Each structure stands twice: as C-alpha cells, then as structure tokens.
Amino acid sequence: MIDDRAEKLSAHEVAVWLRRHPNFLGQFPDLALSLVVPKEDGKTASLSSYQLEILRDKNRDLTRRLNELGMNAQDNERLTQHLQTLSLALLRARLPADIVQTLAACLKEDFAGECVRIISFTAVPGMLGDWFSHIPAEDPRLQPFADCLANGEPICGRLNPEKLPVLFGDDRTHTQSIALIPVTDVGLIAVGSADPHRFYPGMGTLFLRWIGELFQTALIQSRR
C-alpha cells in the first residue's frame, strides 16, 4: 500500500530552507506580493512594505551613527588644537613657576576647566595661590592616591571622599565630577566641575595622559 499522505514541514524547516534559498521569492513574485508580515501593533503589512520599513530603520540608525562620528571628530580636532596650543606655551616657559602657571591657565581657558588644582612633589619657587600645593611624595596625605600614582592612569568621575580635602580643601563646589591626572615623579593635576556628567568613568583619557606627559617633560627640561 502506497502512503500518499503529504509530508508535513515545520515552520522552522521552512525558515531554514528559505534562508538557504534567498532568491526563491524572485522566482515567484506573486507569492512575495501575497505574503503578509505582522507588525508590533497587531496589524499586517505586505512583505515589500515590511522590508522598506526595515531599510528605513537601518538608514536612520546609520545616519545617527554618522552624526555621532562627525561630532566626535570635531571634538577631537578641537582638543588636538588646544593640545598644540598648550605644547607651544609650555615650550616658551622657562622657569618651573612659569610652567605651572601656564598649565593652569591653559586648562582653565582652552580646556574650559572650572576648577584647577596642582600638587607638586617638589617646591616650586615663586608659586602662590590656593590652587597650588607643595606636598612631598612620601607625605601621608597622599596615601589615598597611592594606586593612582602607581599605575599612572588618569581617573574620571567622582572621587572617594578622602581624596577631596587634599585637592580642594573645604571647597566642594566643583567636585561633582573630576579629572585626575597623575604625573610620574612630579605630582597631581586635578580639574573639577560642578557638572556631575562633565567627567565620567569610561570616557577617553588619552588627551589627559598627553597633558600629564607634556607637563612632566616641560618641568624636567626647565630643571636641567
């Protein structure tokens, strides 16, 4: 007896077969026109309309990403220009005090730093002001910064409370977010902001690291 029952295919098997034969609907255009695709709101749409909507969504996503890349490129170009300005200014400075003051001025003016604090491990003759401190590297007050100074990596975001008095004293106005730059054998640079979103964990620190290296090199050259 011949079994004439039609073989039944599961929906999964049909989907797998169609994925392996993407040109199938091109051979049967009437079938492509008759297919309907459910939408989130419960209504249905033709396959062509559904595909068009997917392409539009992808196009909007690509446009958004391109805009973000464009904005990032502009920000990086602006930062690079400011970094060049800082480099030239530090090259012109001759004395350690001039270098420290130049760095602080550039961070405030060119990099829009709301509050700048600099700690130097060695004394800098002629330096005055509440934004500058001379604290030897072995001073116990710097113990909270031991890990940061050891790895040399900048930190962005909110700092632990024990770090704040060393950097900002009793002023907490600009400590909602901070960029902290450890400078090997030199000291610490801190830029504070009243905006909690100005500096945040995970943001790029390449430019901050370069600023620290420029400051370190300029001071070494001035002391020779």
Residue-wise pLDDT for 9-25, tens only, equals 788 888 888 888 877 76
pLDDT of residue 1: 42
Is residue 40 very low, low, confident or very high in pLDDT (cuts 50, 70, 90)? low
pLDDT at residue 5, rounded to an integer: 46
CA atoms within 13 A on the CB side of 9: 8
- Where along the chain do its domains lie? 32-92, 94-222
CB atoms within 10 A of CB 109: 11
Whether residue 94 has pLDDT greater than 70: yes
pLDDT at 48: 60
Average pLDDT estimate for 91-99 = 91
Average pLDDT of 49-55?
A: 66
Q: Is the pLDDT of residue 72 over 70?
A: no
Residue % of the chain over a pLDDT of 70:
80
Does domain 94-222 sit in CATH 3.30.450.40? yes
C-alpha–C-alpha distance, residues 43 and 55, integer Å: 19
The pLDDT mean for the chain works out to 83
CB-based contact 121:135 (threshold 8 Å):
yes
- Digit-coded pLDDT (tens) for 96-153: 999 999 999 999 888 888 899 999 999 998 887 789 999 999 999 999 999 999 999 9
- Its pTM stands at 0.67
User: Alpha carbon of 153 to those of 23, 73, 89, 117, 207: distances in Å?
Assistant: 54, 24, 24, 17, 12
